[in-house]
Amino acid sequence: MLPLTITLIQSDLHWENKEANLNHFEKQIDAIKQPTHIVVLPEMFSTGFSMQPALLAEKMDGETVSWMIKIAAEKKIIITGSVIIEEKGNYYNRLLWVLPNGQIAHYDKRHRFAFAGEDQQYTAGNKRLITSVNGWKLNLHVCYDLRFPVWARQQSTDSPEYDVLIYVANWPARRSYAWKQLLIARAIENQCYVIGVNRIGEDGNGIEHSGDSMLIDPLGEVIYTKSNGSDIFTHTLDKEALETVRNKFPFWKDADRFMIHSNDSNEV
């Protein structure tokens, strides 16, 4: 298995201003100093966490998606983050996984944040996305999904289902304690690296975000975290360290066997 280098970009967002956000993140990506395979941006990075999808949504050939394709090709990186997407009359908080060759995979946020009315504006996804890079398997999630451990749980007892769990978020500062503790818990219980990329600053609803983006190892030790400031952090994940943890403490073998079903009874 080859090394895997991932860059986390923690940043403020321009409220409901795609052009400003895309220009900003292009400069941030230009500022990355070392080679990297994957760049992770926050949830709804081109708009902020807006409940106005009718105004801001785009299709899969829209402005933000086209920008992601361009940047991925120019920089020869994978770029990921979530975007407001309209498809067949439905709106999705959609995490996009864009490869340098222009191929796109996506994950539609499963758990919509009803406290903010997200369930009234957006359609829930019903399929997880586990993708692979350099022999590493990555499980991709969005913000509020973090509160629901079954959705992220390793489901195989033959071998671990994935190696890295990623959350992109607009997680409020007033609940930052939960954010940090849950990210650590997901790493420990799934014996994997966990990455959480959150925004900073005040959004258009007056909600403050402290960032607290994190990279956590399979034992729950925090490799990186940053509060209340813009930051670009690049790190190469250690496959040997991951395998050592799993071999020395093979807790994943004792996990319960189970299957996840969506609310409409379609198996996922």
pLDDT, one tens digit per residue, over 1-23 is 689 999 999 999 999 999 999 99
> Both tokens of residue 179?
């954010």
The 10 Å Cβ neighbour count of residue 154 is 17
pLDDT of res. 266: 34
Q: One of 43, 58, 118, 161 is an active-site residue; which one? A: 43
Decide if domain 4-254 falls under CATH 3.60.110.10.
Answer: yes
Task: Examine the residue annotation and report whether 143 is marked as an active-site residue of this protein.
Answer: yes
255 pLDDT band (50/70/90 cuts)? confident
Residue 73, pLDDT above cutoff 60: yes
User: Per the residue annotation, which of 58, 143, 161, 180 is the catalytic one?
Assistant: 143
CA distance 24 to 19: 8
| Catalytic residue chosen out of the listed positions 16, 18, 58, 109 | 109
Q: Is there a catalytic annotation at residue 192?
A: no
Q: Among this protein's residues, is 63 annotated catalytic?
A: no
| Mean pLDDT, the chain, integer | 95
Q: Cα 135 to chain center, whole Å?
A: 19
Tokens 């940043």 belong to 11
Helices (H), the chain: 18-30, 53-56, 63-75, 118-121, 149-152, 176-190, 239-248
